[in-house]
Structure 1
Amino acid sequence: MDPSPTPPGLELDRAHRRRRIVMIAFWVFTFVAAAVGNTLTTRIDVARNGQVYPTWQIATNEFTSIFISLLMLPLLLRACDRWPLHADTWRRRLPLYVLGSMAWSAAHVVGMDLLRWFFYGVWGSHYEPGSWAVQAVYEYLKDVRTFFLIVAVCHTVEWFGRRTQGEASLLTAPDEGPAVESVERPERFLVRKLGRDFLVATADIEWAQAAGNYVNLRVRGRDYPLRTTLAALETKLDPTVFVRAHRSYLVQLGHVTSIEPLDAGDARLHMADGTVLPCSRRYRESLRAAASGVEPALARA
């Protein structure tokens, strides 16, 4: 049997993946359109000024630049996922993004120059980039704008996507007076969706899945991202009800209907809604022990 089933929302949830595909398609279209437009306008300017500059050189300069940018785009989008800018993190992470923009520009310059040397050679010509220092400064002044435009669009799209999907947060203690319920062992989570707030009972959470800087809470077939780590969330949930099944999954025992053993000691968890989640060998026995007194009883494998 396959020891690694493909659970829903592995690494990135479905909505996030759809946004990512649309975002990449948007940037491919934008970069290609810009390269075509720049090639045409430069060709017109060259002809108008009576200069001798072959069209293939103009196109090579433009398309090698956008090719390297698109090649690095997935890395930048993953970095935005890994180190998002929030109100409580942007001051600490912004310097890292500035350093990232310098690395982006350096890789962009080196990559496009190598491609230009190659294609110029194919055409029997020689590419001369001029002073490296001047080129580095010139390209960075352009690249830094492109870099932070991509970062801004990525964060804006993800922010809007979370608001549309519904983003969960932990209830905090009031400024004055005692809390209505335990903050350390919350009975409910606050979910904000399209500007409206509503409460989700902790007992309704079927499982929680780590997804980068977020934990997706599965509630009645919907995922609500909560900005925390799975380890931090685990400390706030009742350990007799919620048990770790995998380094990326925390499950509510009452929603597990059976445990299917696999080779090498791993297992699959069959959930009440028909979903199959992974259970690693490390957590299998502790999950079985915790489930021994849970109703409905698990079907023993």
Structure 2
Amino acid sequence: MGTTPGFDIYQRWRRPFEVGAWVAFFVLNGIFNSINSRLDHAGAAAWEPWLWEWSSLLVLLALLPGVIALERRWPIRFDNWRRNLPLHLLFSVPFSLIHVSAMHLLRKLGYLAAGRPYDAFGASWWINFGYEYLKDVRTYFVIVGTLVLYRLWRLRQQGEAKLLAAPDEGAPVEPVDRPERFLVRKLGKEFLLNASEIEWLQASGNYVNLHVRGRDYPLRATMAGIEERLDPARFVRVHRSHFVNLDYLAEIEPLESGDARLQMRDGAKIPCSRRYRAALRERFGQPD
């Protein structure tokens, strides 16, 4: 079930790649829009088109983490888009209000520094805001659409785990309520993953990542839902967002705060909250 070397490199540098890609997208868009605006407003001062575009760009970049968090909380998928799409349409209204307000504040400060007056909307403010909202709702859904496509690409490359379903006829070959294996779909192929191979599990939005030999396979589930299906003789909850497989636990390191840090056999470190520490030490054969 190995991934390509290029995807492995991407996984190690995923966060810098994501941040860099978004910054590059907005910066390039700001440069091109500034040049276009300069050509369209030949009578304006040379700095004005750049102020107009970059004030908007900086606010959009500041709003980007919020849009990402909203899409992660209410993701758009084939099974829920009818429910979540109207929510994102509603979210686009405060997105636009914040964008327009902060953008015009930055522009006003820029004009003030240049000793020039700046009238944001004038008498027809509602018409101008309607125009700005039409642009902002498009920007909002370009961001959301990009996040959806990016997630689909990642799942295809990384592999998405699923619980084995009961057959239409006859008894299942293994317990469905406590599966011994998971089905992984990746790059158009299917693999079976033994539950005993899972080293730890970590909550991630609407998914629970199954960590196996340095790779994560997202399973669409909640921590409460997956807890009922894990073998309690092997898996122990150590944190509100983590389960560990005792077979892969190497060391428990107590912390002054009362929490603990777990050292796994592969060198990974997993947080353990004080709520679960005593039970874990007892299971692991150490006195508290």
Q: Deviation of residue 220 (structure 1)?
A: 2.0
1:140: which partner in 2? 133
User: For the structure 1 residues 15 and 291, does the alpha-carbon distance in structure 2 shift closer, same or farther, using more than 3 Å as the test?
Assistant: farther
State the distance in 2 between where 1:274 and 1:66 align: 41
1:165: which partner in 2? 158
Stretch moving more, 281-290 or 236-245 = 281-290
1:31 corresponds, among 26, 48, 52, to 26
2:96 corresponds, among 100, 105, 115, to 105
1:9: which partner in 2? none
Stretch moving more, 19-28 or 264-273 = 19-28
Q: Deviation of residue 36 (structure 1)?
A: 2.4
User: For the structure 1 residues 177 and 15, does the alpha-carbon distance in structure 2 shift closer, same or farther, using more than 3 Å as the test?
Assistant: farther
1:202: which partner in 2? 195
1:77 aligns with 2:85: no
Q: Which runs of 5+ in 2 are unaligned?
A: 1-8
Q: Count the aligned residue pairs.
A: 278
State the distance in 1 between where 2:131 and 2:162 align: 44
Identity of aligned residues (%): 49
Q: Secondary structure at the match of 1:178?
A: coil
2:217: which partner in 1? 224
Q: Deviation of residue 17 (structure 1)?
A: 8.1
1:7: which partner in 2? none
Q: Per-residue CA shift, 1:134-173, capped at 9, x if unaligned? A: 1221011111111101111111112111211111111111
1:256 aligns with 2:249: yes
Residue identity in the other structure for 1:103: P
State the distance in 2 between where 1:233 and 1:188 align: 13
Higher relative contact order (CA closer than 8 Å, sequence separation 6+): 1
Q: Which runs of 5+ in 1 are unaligned?
A: 1-13, 293-298
Q: Per-residue CA shift, 1:5-36, capped at 9, x if unaligned? A: xxxxxxxxx96784453343233223222332
1:63 aligns with 2:54: yes
CA contact (8 A) 1:185 1:238 kept: yes
Stretch moving more, 70-79 or 31-40 = 31-40
2:6: which partner in 1? none
2:41 corresponds, among 27, 43, 46, to 46
State the distance in 1 between where 2:27 and 2:54 align: 8
Q: Secondary structure at the match of 2:199?
A: strand
State the distance in 2 between where 1:24 and 1:240 align: 41
* TM-score between both structures, scaled by the size of structure 1: 0.86
User: For the structure 1 residues 274 and 39, does the alpha-carbon distance in structure 2 shift closer, same or farther, using more than 3 Å as the test?
Assistant: closer
State the distance in 2 between where 1:226 and 1:201 align: 14
1:241 aligns with 2:225: no
RMSD: 2.0
State the distance in 1 between where 2:206 and 2:186 align: 19
User: For the structure 1 residues 278 and 28, does the alpha-carbon distance in structure 2 shift closer, same or farther, using more than 3 Å as the test?
Assistant: closer
User: For the structure 1 residues 79 and 17, does the alpha-carbon distance in structure 2 shift closer, same or farther, using more than 3 Å as the test?
Assistant: farther
Residue identity in the other structure for 2:85: L
Stretch moving more, 192-201 or 166-175 = 166-175
1:3: which partner in 2? none
1:273: which partner in 2? 266
* TM-score between both structures, scaled by the size of structure 2: 0.89
Q: Per-residue CA shift, 1:31-65, capped at 9, x if unaligned? A: 22233223323333334xxxx32222222111111
2:111 corresponds, among 116, 120, 124, to 120
